């Protein structure tokens, strides 16, 4: 298998570029390939957002919803920005791709891929009950992790946060 390391993350734009060409099949194939080919799957926020859009346009609405929720946790500012809102600053650790500048300094065409009905659908998921539960739990875990000193408890919290990021919501009791 060829190496997918490119140092600058260009590989995460490939699926978006297929979407830009209206090649849904090419986009989905790229997203699925990168998910397997990269360590721990691909979690770059714009990559996840474009994957969400490809799934939605391909009629895989349930999978698109799950991917949208993963996108939400990858960067708390991305979806409000997509909706044309000014995202509020949130406390808590956000990881490598989690800050506001990451969204505001990215190419605008990545957001312009979305059409009004698709944004309306995404907004309904984002402001839904499940999304609120996931986001609240995730942000609470991240805040606790900033203060917790017990290494075993930190490990448990990190495991749960990672599960939420991967789309495992079993800790919510739903």
Tens-digit pLDDT profile for residues 19-68: 999 999 999 999 998 888 876 656 789 999 999 999 999 999 999 999 99
Per-chain mean pLDDT for the chain: 86
DSSP 33-96: HHHHHSTT----HHHHHHHHHHHHHTT-HHHHHHHHHHHHHH-TTHHHHHTT--PPP--S---T
What letter does residue 8 receive in the DSSP assignment? S
d(CA 113, CA 108): 9
Q: What pLDDT is attached to residue 17?
A: 94
Residues 151, 68 share a domain = no
Rg (CA), the chain: 16
Task: Write the pLDDT tens digit of every residue in 108-166.
Answer: 899 999 999 999 999 999 999 999 999 899 989 988 988 889 999 999 999 999 899 88
Q: Domain range for residue 155?
A: 129-174
Angstrom distance (rounded) from CA 48 to CA 70: 7
CATH number at residue 107: 1.25.40
Same domain flag for 38 and 120: yes
Locate 165 and state its tokens: 């990021």
What is the band of 2 on the pLDDT scale with cuts at 50, 70, 90?
very low
pLDDT of 139 reads 86
Clarify whether residues 99 and 34 are in a common domain: yes
139 and 84 belong to one structural domain: no
Residues 25 and 96 both lie in one domain: yes
């Amino acid at each position: 298998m060829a190496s997918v390391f490119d140092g600058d993350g260009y590989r995460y734009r490939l699926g978006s570029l297929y979407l830009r060409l209206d090649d849904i099949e090419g986009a989905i194939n790229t997203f699925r390939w990168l998910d397997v080919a990269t360590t721990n799957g691909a979690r770059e926020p714009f990559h996840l957002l474009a994957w969400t859009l490809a799934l939605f346009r391909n009629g895989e609405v349930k999978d698109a919803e799950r991917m949208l929720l993963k996108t939400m946790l990858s960067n708390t500012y991305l979806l409000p920005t997509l909706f044309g809102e000014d995202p509020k600053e949130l406390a808590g650790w956000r990881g490598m791709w989690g800050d506001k500048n990451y969204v505001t300094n990215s190419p605008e065409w990545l957001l312009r891929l979305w059409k009004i009905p698709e944004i309306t659908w995404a907004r309904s998921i984002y402001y839904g009950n499940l999304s609120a539960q996931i986001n609240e739990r995730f942000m609470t875990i991240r805040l606790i992790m900033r203060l917790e000193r017990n290494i075993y408890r930190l490990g448990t919290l990190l495991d749960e946060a990672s599960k939420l990021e991967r789309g495992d919501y079993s800790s919510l009791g739903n």
